[in-house]
């Protein structure tokens, strides 16, 4: 859970700045690359989905559950 804390807070800030809570997988990967997490991003995204932080909306889109718009 601690490993996910940094990406979640960064995703929350990004979503708030963009004023939307549905993000494309490529956006999430780009945020991960900016944090130096380029390897294992698919595993991290999958873990965040399984833990309920991200909801897979299909079509390579994920809804960030901790931000509402």
For the chain, what is the mean pLDDT? 88
Phi, psi (deg, nearest 5) at residue 63: -95, 125
Crossing angle of the two packed helices 41-50 and 2-18, in degrees rounded to 10: 90
Q: Minimal CA–CA distance to 6: which of 43, 44, 51?
A: 44
Q: pLDDT digit string (tens) for 3-30?
A: 566 688 999 999 999 999 999 999 999 9
**CA 69 – CA 60 distance, rounded (Å):** 20
Beta sheet of 22-24, edge-to-edge order: 22-24, 61-64, 54-58
Say if CB 56 and CB 5 are below 8 A apart: no
pLDDT for 3 equals 52
Residue 60 clears pLDDT 60, i.e. is over it: yes
């Amino acid at each position: 859970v601690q490993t996910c804390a940094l990406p979640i807070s960064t995703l929350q800030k990004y979503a708030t700045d963009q004023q939307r809570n549905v993000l494309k997988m490529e956006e999430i990967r780009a945020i991960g690359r900016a944090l130096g997490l380029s390897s294992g991003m698919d595993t991290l995204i999958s873990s965040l989905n399984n833990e309920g932080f991200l909801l897979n909306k299909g079509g390579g889109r994920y809804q960030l559950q901790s931000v509402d718009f």
